Amino acid sequence: MAMHLNIYLFMILMNFSLAFATRNLTNLSNEACVGDVSIGLSFGGYQEICPEAEAIVYSWVDKAVADDPRMAASLLRLHFHDCIVNGCDASVLLDDTPNFVGEKTAAPNANSLRGFELIDAIKSDIESLCPGVVSCADILTIAARDSVILSGGPGWQVETGRKDSRTASKTAANNDIPAPTSDVQTLVSKFQAAGLDLNDVVTLSGAHTMGKARCTTFISRLNGSADISSGIGPDVNLDFISSLQQLCLAADANAALAQLDLVTPSTFDNQYYVNLISGEGLLTSDQVLVTGDEQTRELVRLYAEDQEIFFEEFRRSMIRMGRLQPAGTDGEIRKNCRAVN
């Protein structure tokens, strides 16, 4: 009964959300490639071969977010950390083997990424109905979309047809994922290397309207530096910095967590951008979007003033990120998301 109810609610939510998304997704869906590489994705790819796939993902994510609202941000981050490293190929899910060291122990991921067991459960459920059909990479992409919807954000159609990689790269994860201390130039450079642009930097950073971060990731915000390019300078919100110092000094900095958005921490909205204008960006890589570059600052102001514009651009950027694909076509549909077949 619960599964049927969740599927019914999923269809209502998607129909409602897509009513707002359709007009701009049409043009975006006509883009056939990233660079010169055709990616072979399509909307509604599982409707015929595994029609319950997306509803199953939604049902599991719905329960997980109800039990732990932070899981929505964790799934969104898991998808990002997968796609920014050699495309959306579920490489981030692979466990280490004697033949290679996976990405889970890379510095941006170790003791940080969450949601692996949930993806395992989703994959197992889908495999029982549609064996060898739905890729782990597509599950990650769908789960990220559902996390946004269930947190009050926009919905969009997810293109499917990704393949799962047969290998992973700890080195690429260490090098390609932007650090929380990054300046604007570094952020843009890493996004461009992956196939995204400055607009995507600002738009996808809006995912930090949910979730938490350890004190160790924003310690540079507390050091009193006068370097405005690092998000610390004459316009810094001293009360906010003081509150962070109290939090991190009163507990183990490796364990203490701060909300990325103190105002609406479990809601997907545009409050993140409002916070940046007030000097309350938690990470250096957040606050520099206001202090470090005029183009990014203007986008922050636009999104802070108009949530619907942010939602529309977030849909587009998520679809663009979902199209990032590794060089070559040597992929598979894993039976177990943690291991190659």
Q: Which residues are annotated as a binding site?
A: 82, 85, 87, 89, 91, 103, 178, 208-209, 261, 264, 269
Q: 């979730």: which residue's tokens?
A: 211
The CA distances from residue 185 to 41, 189, 229, 294, in Å, are: 31, 6, 10, 12
CB 303, CB 270: distance < 8 Å: yes
In 3-state terms, the chain is what percent helix, strand and coil (to 5)?
Answer: 55, 5, 40
Q: Which residues, in sequence order, are bridge partners of residue 42? A: 160
DSSP-based three-state secondary structure for 43 = strand
Q: 């899910």: which residue's tokens?
A: 93
Q: 């005029």: which residue's tokens?
A: 294
Taking the C-alpha atoms of residue 221 and residue 334, their distance in angstroms, rounded to an integer, is 41
- Binding residues for heme b, as ranges, are 208
- The catalytic residues are 81
Taking the C-alpha atoms of residue 288 and residue 298, their distance in angstroms, rounded to an integer, is 12
* E-strand stretches of 16-132: 33-34, 37-38, 42-43
Which tokens belong to 212? 């938490």
The whole-angstrom distance between residue 62's C-alpha and the CA centroid of its chain comes to: 17
> 225 exposed, middle or buried (CB, 10 Å; 0-12, 13-18, 19+)?
middle
Amino acid at 246: Q
